[in-house]
């Protein structure tokens, strides 16, 4: 997730507005920043790694000449956060400047083709193919509008782009597929931005571009066209009534809720991983004598779930370990044959990095899964995957958890294929389901939101909760419980359901709410027995079960129905979503701020 802001004014300098606009998009990314302006047919570009205000001051953004320009604040996905990788990117002749938010899936093949045709690339980004593709079309004689359309038709993946042509200082060209882009108009000019907050100081009259659309902005107006055939789209502007605070959260009252609802998109991004990196990680995992999945908090829960995936799909035994326990527990056996797969959203968690450093010193192979390019984890890993969820502001991890799970599921499947442990049919079937996960999560959000809110109202004053699941659902239970615990402060326990009778059941008395994860699959039969045990002791049974699972529904005091046909190994992704919502709504109903839980920090970088 990155931020784009562009404007074309009737008079005055565009750059100071771009600087301010980017500042309001800083929550979308902040590792590097850049601006391109056009003045007298000449492109001016200033960019560097660093925070917006610091770079803007150092490079005097506000003094850049020209009434038209585009800017970008970056959250690195391809290529480290460096000056060269910062946007805008240009073609060989330096006459086309592009800022981009999204991920171009086929950039490697496009880059190869363009390089063979003589184009010179300077960055490691996927974005850089876009100005070169446009340049190629200009060389063939196309005008900017046609060159843009032809170029973006070749892109696969997600993009919101804003483009300046030195030959056409009267326009900004935009296009979108899957990444957001809004255009706006005022008396003073026209604007484009990734999000509403950047627009609000200049205009409240906006239009959303839809997938497959392009827009051409001039100081006095705009035109929206379809990328497929260049035909015109009539879309009037809408007036935005949101306050700035509401706008920063896209109308959601809290970042946590916004991020919960972003999951279909962050999961789509997580499916766009470069297959070469997945293969590389899978190859290292395959070679290891012992594999440790090391992480903290929510990321540890993702590791726990992944250990079931690696075992069932790839027949590979892995050891999920809480990072702060790793050295004490396994340190003495770590050596050159050990593989450490460290999972960390921030890539900066002290405990995880300490475990990694320890293992590195003993010549173990370090692999990483993170959301943060350029983080310490990416620097110390032999190979790593970036999950591409964009920045997460809420302290409670939500969208980054489900994206971690999807990345790890893809990795397990690659490994299964590599090791030849399951049949082609099984691989194909699982792959098909993987691709459906973003839509399944969308469906869960649509179907369960109001039901979860009702349950939050009913159970908001409880003093204790139990979360129980079997198999991979025990990881879902742990994560659901962590969400509730960290933002509502309600004491709660989570256990593999089979273990509950070995102790935890002693705290169950009349009306204690017990949340059961009951996806269809190998554990479904046994979970019924666990429900009965709790029911016999008077617990209130709340279940997440598959639509039409009458047996579980009959045993439940309350239930949330989940879509049919979700493979058990992927169930933590959709099944955790109602639990995230439950924690969120209970926190809000208890008058707490879910974005700022007490005593917690987003990234724990201290011992
Ligand atoms: O950045 P990391 O994934 O390494 O962070 C690990 C934990 O600190 C983090 O998941 C924490 O538990 C969250 N607050 C959970 O919501």
Would you list the domain boundaries of the chain? 3-247, 252-422, 446-598
Buried b (16+ CB within 10 A) or exposed e, 468-480: bbbbbbbbbbbbb
- pLDDT of 606 above 80: no
Asked about 2 being catalytic, the answer comes back as yes
CA neighbours within 13 Å on the CB side: how many for 356?
26
pLDDT at 104: 92
CA 28 vs. chain centroid, Å, equals 11
Q: Which residues line ligand 1 (CB under 6 A)?
A: 296-299, 344-346, 349, 352, 395-397, 482, 486, 600, 603-604
Tens of pLDDT, residue by residue over 427-479, are 999 999 999 999 999 999 999 999 999 999 999 999 999 999 999 999 999 99
Catalytic choice (20, 460, 589, 602): 602
Q: Is the pTM of this model over 0.85?
A: no
Helix (H) or strand (E) holding 269: helix 263-270
CATH architecture of the domain formed by 3-247: 4-Layer Sandwich (3.60)
- On the 0-12 / 13-18 / 19+ scale of CB atoms within 10 A, 117 is exposed
Asked about 483 being catalytic, the answer comes back as no
Helix (H) or strand (E) holding 450: helix 424-459
- pLDDT of 569 above 70: yes
- 455, 277 Cβ separation under 8 angstroms: no
Tens of pLDDT, residue by residue over 411-423, are 999 999 999 988 9
Q: How far apart are CA 517 and CA 497, in angstroms?
A: 9
What CATH number was assigned to the domain covering residues 446-598? 3.40.50.10490
- 74, 4 Cβ separation under 8 angstroms: no
Centroid of ligand 1 to alpha carbon of 297 (angstroms): 5
- pLDDT of 380 above 90: yes
- On the 0-12 / 13-18 / 19+ scale of CB atoms within 10 A, 243 is exposed
C-beta atoms surrounding 454 within 10 Å: 11
- Ligand 1 atom closest to Cα of 400? 3
What are the two backbone dihedrals, phi and then psi, of residue 483, each rounded to the nearest 5 degrees?
-60, -45
Residue 605's pLDDT band (cuts 50, 70, 90): low
Q: Which residue has the tokens 């993987």?
A: 434
Tens of pLDDT, residue by residue over 64-88, are 999 999 999 987 777 778 999 999 9
Q: What are the beta bridge partners of residue 190?
A: 8, 185
Centroid of ligand 1 to alpha carbon of 482 (angstroms): 10
Centroid of ligand 1 to alpha carbon of 298 (angstroms): 5
For domain 252-422, the CATH superfamily is Glucose-6-phosphate isomerase like protein; domain 1 (3.40.50.10490)
- pLDDT of 219 above 80: yes
Q: Do domains 3-247 and 446-598 have the same CATH topology?
A: no
Q: How far apart are CA 48 and CA 251, in angstroms?
A: 31
Q: How far apart are CA 458 and CA 16, in angstroms?
A: 51
- 490, 588 Cβ separation under 8 angstroms: no
């Amino acid at each position: 997730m990155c931020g784009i802001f562009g404007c074309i004014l009737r008079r005055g300098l565009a750059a100071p507005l771009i600087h301010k606009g980017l500042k309001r998009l800083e929550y979308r990314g902040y590792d590097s920043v850049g601006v391109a302006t056009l003045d007298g047919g000449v492109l001016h570009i200033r960019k560097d790694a660093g925070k917006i205000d610091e770079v803007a001051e150092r490079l005097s953004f506000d003094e850049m000449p020209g009434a038209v320009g585009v800017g970008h604040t970056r959250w690195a996905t391809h290529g480290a956060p460096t000056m060269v990788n910062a946007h805008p990117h240009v073609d060989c002749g330096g006459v086309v400047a592009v800022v981009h938010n999204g991920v171009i899936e086929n950039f490697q093949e496009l880059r190869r083709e363009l390089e063979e045709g003589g184009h010179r690339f300077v960055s490691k980004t996927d974005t850089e193919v876009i100005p070169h593709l446009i340049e190629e079309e200009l060389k063939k004689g196309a005008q900017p509008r046609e060159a843009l359309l032809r170029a973006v038709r070749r892109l696969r993946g997600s993009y919101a782009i804003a483009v300046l042509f030195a030959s056409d200082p009267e326009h900004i060209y935009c296009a979108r597929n899957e990444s957001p882009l809004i255009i706006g108009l005022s008396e003073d000019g026209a604007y484009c931005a990734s999000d509403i907050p950047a627009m609000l100081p200049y205009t409240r009259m906006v239009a959303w571009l839809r997938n497959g659309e392009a827009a051409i902005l001039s100081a006095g107006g705009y035109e929206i066209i379809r990328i497929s055939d260049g035909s015109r789209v009539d879309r009037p502007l809408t007036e935005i009534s949101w306050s700035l605070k509401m706008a920063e959260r896209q109308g959601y009252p809290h970042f946590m809720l916004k991020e919960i609802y972003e999951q279909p998109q962050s999961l789509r991004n997580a499916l766009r991983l470069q297959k070469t990196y997945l293969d590389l990680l899978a190859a290292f995992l395959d070679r290891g004598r012992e594999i440790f999945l090391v992480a903290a908090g929510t990321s540890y829960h993702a590791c726990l779930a992944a250990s079931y995936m690696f075992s069932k799909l790839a027949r590979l035994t892995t050891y999920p370990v809480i990072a702060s326990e790793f050295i004490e527990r396994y340190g003495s056996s770590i050596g050159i044959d050990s593989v450490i797969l460290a999972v960390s959203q921030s890539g900066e968690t002290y405990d995880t990095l300490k475990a990694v450093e320890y293992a590195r010193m003993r010549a173990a192979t370090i692999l990483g899964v993170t959301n943060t390019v350029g983080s310490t984890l990416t620097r110390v890993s032999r190979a790593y995957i970036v999950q591409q969820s964009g920045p997460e502001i809420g302290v409670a991890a939500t969208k980054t958890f489900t994206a971690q799970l999807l990345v790890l599921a893809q990795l397990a499947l690659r490994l299964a294929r590599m090791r030849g442990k399951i049949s082609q049919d099984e691989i194909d079937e699982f792959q098909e389901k993987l691709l459906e996960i973003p839509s399944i999560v969308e469906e869960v959000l649509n179907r369960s939101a109001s039901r979860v809110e009702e349950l939050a109202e009913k159970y908001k004053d409880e003093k204790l909760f139990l979360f129980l699941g079997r198999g991979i659902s025990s990881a879902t239970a742990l994560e659901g419980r962590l969400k509730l615990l960290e933002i509502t402060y309600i004491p709660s326990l989570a256990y593999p359901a089979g273990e509950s009778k070995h102790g935890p059941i002693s705290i169950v008395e009349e009306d204690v709410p017990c949340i059961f994860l009951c996806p269809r699959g190998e554990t479904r039969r046994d979970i019924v027995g666990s429900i009965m045990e709790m029911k016999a002791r008077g617990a209130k049974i709340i279940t997440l079960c598959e639509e039409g699972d009458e047996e579980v529904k009959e045993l439940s005091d309350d239930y949330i129905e989940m879509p049919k046909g979700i493979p058990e190994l992927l169930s933590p992704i959709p099944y955790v979503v109602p639990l995230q919502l439950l924690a969120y709504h209970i926190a809000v109903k208890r008058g707490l701020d879910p974005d700022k839980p007490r005593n917690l920090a987003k990234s724990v970088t201290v011992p």
